[in-house]
Amino acid sequence: MNDFTLSLQITALGMGLVFGAILLLWLMMVILTALTADKEPASDSAEVDSSTQADSKLQVALLAVAIALAEQDASSAHPLEEPPTAIVSAWQLGMRTRQMSEKGNFRRH
Domain boundaries, the chain: 1-35
Alpha-carbon separation of residue 44 from 38, 39, 67 (angstroms): 17, 14, 37
The C-alpha atoms of residue 30 and residue 39 are separated, in whole angstroms, by: 16
pLDDT in tens, 52-68: 888 888 999 999 999 98
76-101 burial string, b = 16+ CB within 10 Å, else e?
Answer: eeeeeeeeeeeeeeeeeeeeeeeeee
78-89 pLDDT, tens digit per residue, is 777 776 666 778
In order, the DSSP letters of 24-85 are HHHHHHHHHHHHHPPPPPPTTSPPPPHHHHHHHHHHHHHHHHHHHHHHHHH----PPPPPPT
Provide the residue type at 30 as one letter: V
Residue pLDDT tens, the chain, 109 long: 799 999 999 999 999 999 999 999 999 999 999 999 887 765 544 555 677 888 888 999 999 999 988 888 777 777 777 766 667 788 888 888 888 888 876 566 5
Amino acid identity, residue 43? S
